């Protein structure tokens, strides 16, 4: 059956790949990002491949914006029963240089954003007796220099995911987290710039530390998201899957 999936931060990077993959799996997809116009490439790629998608502009860290976005999805596409909390930002700095705003912005988008989106969407999942929630964590949840804010948010995503799994399981809703390792996107491109390397140098250096010998791609993460969102994955819940080209945790 056709389900409605909502993917946040889906204008580019990992979110865009997840949106395209969930569409090719047969779902109608709401492509959500800060700016609806920025979602055009993702929406066009889905419709060109014969899928169904709409662009939705919203700030996931803002409660009113989230409520309005979910209402818009219900009206234009139908009630969402698949939610991927992928929107994210970086504000890296060593602790002594990290500002209040660096902390609040990162916790706001990742953790508060996932909370607000999940709270807004869960009622549609409960009504349907079916739901799939996937939260993007990171290997940085295990600790990473210069990322006290991001590591705290990504570790928080794991506890949040497990709690949703416990609370919502009785309604046919699963919640799982994907913790990517190094994935080639604009986010890691920005990290390369920050530390003064070209992106190609950064990819080569990263690949040396990864057992499978390469950096990850957005499609590697989309494949994991597809599994968690599948109809047949209803007994897999509360899990954190490290998708990092080798063991973590
Ligand atoms: P990306 O290329 O920077 O894409 C993130 C998207 O989220 C952007 O389109 C961004 O919009 C959007 N966004 C930011 N703040 C938002 C908000 N308040 N409301 C709605 N959308 C917002 O990042 P990515 O590399 O694909 O990462 C996607 C997710 O995977 C993130 O949660 C990230 O932490 C996680 N992750 C990534 C890696 C990696 O190696 N790339 C590793 C582990 C985990 P703008 O362009 O307008 O800012």
**Closest Cα to atom 17 of ligand 1:** 59
The pLDDT of 39-53, averaged and rounded, is 98
Residue 96 has pLDDT above 80, yes or no: yes
Residue 76 has pLDDT above 90, yes or no: yes
Rounded distance between C-alpha atoms, residue 1 and residue 10, angstroms? 23
Residue with tokens 């080639």: 184
Sign of CA dihedral 104, 107, 110, 116: negative
Residue 167 has pLDDT above 90, yes or no: yes
Q: What is the pTM of this model?
A: 0.98
Helix pair 113-128, 63-76: axis angle to 10 deg: 30
Ligand 1 pocket, mutate which of 61, 87, 149 (most atoms under 8 A from CB): 87
Residue pLDDT, tens place only, 7-27: 999 999 999 999 999 999 999
Rounded distance between C-alpha atoms, residue 62 and residue 84, angstroms? 17
**Whole-number pLDDT of residue 226:** 99
150 catalytic? Reply is yes
Partnered with residue 57 across adjacent β-strands are 33
Domains and CATH numbers, the chain: 4-181+216-243 (3.40.50.720)
**Whole-number pLDDT of residue 249:** 77
Contact 61, 69 (CB under 8 A): no
Q: Lowest mean pLDDT of 59-73, 81-95, 172-186, 187-201, name the range.
A: 187-201
Quote the ligand 1 centre to 14 CA distance (angstroms): 7
DSSP one-letter code for 111 = I
Ligand 1 surroundings by CB, under 6 angstroms = 8-9, 11-15, 33-35, 38, 59-61, 86-89, 109, 113, 136, 138, 180, 182-183, 185-188
The pLDDT of 30-47, averaged and rounded, is 98
Catalytic residue among 103, 115, 130, 150: 150
């Amino acid at each position: 059956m056709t389900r409605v999936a909502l993917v946040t931060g889906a204008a580019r990077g990992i979110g865009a790949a997840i949106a395209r993959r969930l569409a090719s799996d047969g779902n109608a997809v709401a492509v959500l990002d800060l700016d609806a116009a920025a979602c055009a490439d993702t929406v066009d790629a889905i419709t060109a491949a014969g899928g169904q998608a709409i662009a939705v502009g919203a700030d996931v860290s803002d409660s009113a914006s989230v409520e309005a976005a979910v209402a818009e999805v219900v009206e234009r596409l139908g009630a969402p029963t698949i939610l991927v909390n992928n929107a994210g930002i970086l504000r890296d700095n060593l602790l002594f240089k990290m500002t209040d705003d660096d902390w609040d912005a990162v916790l706001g988008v990742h953790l508060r954003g996932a909370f607000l989106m999940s709270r807004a969407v869960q009622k549609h999942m409960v009504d349907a007796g079916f739901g799939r929630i996937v939260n993007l964590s990171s290997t940085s949840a295990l600790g990473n220099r210069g990322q006290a804010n991001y590591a705290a948010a990504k570790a928080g995503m794991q506890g949040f995911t497990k709690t949703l799994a416990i609370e919502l399981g009785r309604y046919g809703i699963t919640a799982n987290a994907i913790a990517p390792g190094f994935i080639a996107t604009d986010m890691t491109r920005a990290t390369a710039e920050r530390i003064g390397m070209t992106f190609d140098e950064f990819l080569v250096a990263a690949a040396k530390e990864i057992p499978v010998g390469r950096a990850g791609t957005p499609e590697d993460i989309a494949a994991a998201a597809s599994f968690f969102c599948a109809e047949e994955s209803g007994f897999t819940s509360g899990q954190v899957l490290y998708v990092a080209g080798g063991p973590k945790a």
